[in-house]
Structure 1
Amino acid sequence: MSGTWQLQEAKNKLIEVVEATLTDGPQVITRRGTETAIVLSCADYRKLLLTQKKLSDFFKESPLVGMELDLTLDAGPDRGELVL
């Protein structure tokens, strides 16, 4: 079960956050009510790294391999100028 900590509280109780990470799993850090960071144990982080695939392998294993896809550009009306 992961916990949620306000940033200021996490700063003040870093040791508790780390301990909770080791016993309860990833801990979420919020700032002004918005989730901004996650504290992971090294073991959980390594598991994530091991499950990563190269993007090229992902596409090679896709169920869409061999399907004909229509990749022509849409000749619809111009969307106009993008204003930033």
Structure 2
Amino acid sequence: VARMTVLSELCIPLVKKHGVFLALKSSKGQEELEEARFAVGVLGGRIERVDTFDLPEDAGERQIVTIEKRSQTPKKYPRKPGTPNKSPLVE
């Protein structure tokens, strides 16, 4: 479990160009998504869609964020362990 900026930096570099990265987020996903939009772009990705659904038995809401990798990630990413948490990629 990580914020979308951190999750993007750790996962997008591992996705092949034109591949897809799916992230499962809680109901706070929309605000995290706005925060992570810059990081996703820097890493070569593009947010394609966000699907929202309710869990059974009133267990809350979740979102599946679909990110397509459009270009190669710069070689300096991902950064050393712990750095994305301490210094996230934000505008």
Please confirm whether the aligned pair reaches a TM-score higher than 0.5, indicating the same fold.
no
Higher helix share: 1
TM-score, normalisation: structure 1: 0.29
Higher relative contact order (CA 8 A, sep 6+): 2
Question: TM-score, length-normalised on structure 2?
Answer: 0.28
Larger radius of gyration: 1
